[in-house]
Amino acid sequence: MKKHLMTLLLLQLVSPLFAEKQVKCPIFVDDEIDEEEVVEYKGQKVYMCCGTCVKEWNKNPDYYAKVAQSMKVAPQLDKFDLKNVKLMPQRFCPLRTDRVVHPNSPSISYKGKKIFFFKESDIKRKWSSDPDAYFAKARKAGILPQYDQK
């Protein structure tokens, strides 16, 4: 019995050392974190890759925390109950496909549905130059699941 208790105690002490750590940004999901770019979410540090992501996170922290949970990029957020935060079908920008969008991101209406973008300037400079081609490419990549829903 003592041996079993000692083993349990040792596991409790050692397991945090091997806990999964955040290595990727929850907004620019292909980028590694910079430990100097950090926000605090309900007392928990969440690391970003850059100042742009810090600003974006602060626009909608609950939403980004829920997305980070769903993508398993910030294990420190797994302990939060975010079941009341509803995720949009579209998670990524159709032009910057490694960047997470949220319900207040810049958007347009296209073929009867809303498409969200990471930056307003992307709509004006890029999307508007050939919306049909960008739409087809994003659909093929699975970036616009709202068009697959009935």
What is the pLDDT tens value at each position of the chain, 150 positions in all?
444 444 444 444 443 444 479 999 999 999 999 999 999 999 999 999 999 999 999 999 999 999 999 999 999 999 999 999 999 999 999 999 999 999 999 999 999 999 999 999 999 999 999 999 999 999 999 999 999 876
Task: Please state, in angstroms and as integers, the Cα–Cα distance from residue 83 to each residue in 46, 73, 149, following that order.
Answer: 19, 18, 22
Domain assignment of residue 121, yes or no:
yes
Is 126 within a domain? Answer: yes
Q: Are residues 60 and 97 both part of a single domain?
A: no
Query: Which pLDDT does position 60 carry in this prediction?
Result: 95
How many structural domains comprise the chain? 2
Domain with 129 in it: 88-150
Beta 34-41 vs 107-110: how paired, if at all?
unpaired
Same domain, 110 and 58: no
- For residue 2, being part of any structural domain is answered with no
The predicted pLDDT at position 10 comes to 43
Distance CA 27, CA 107 (A): 17
pLDDT confidence of residue 92: 97
Helices (H) and strands (E) in the chain, counts: 5, 4
| Other C-beta atoms lying within 10 Å of the C-beta of residue 98 | 13
Q: What is the pLDDT of residue 150?
A: 63
| Rounded Cα–Cα distance for residues 65 and 63 (Å) | 5
**Contact between residue 74 and residue 29 where contact means Cβ atoms under 8 Å apart:** no
Q: What is the pLDDT of residue 7?
A: 44
Same domain membership, residue 93 and residue 140: yes
pLDDT value of residue 20: 72
Same domain (yes/no): 93, 57: no
Residue 12 placed within a domain: no
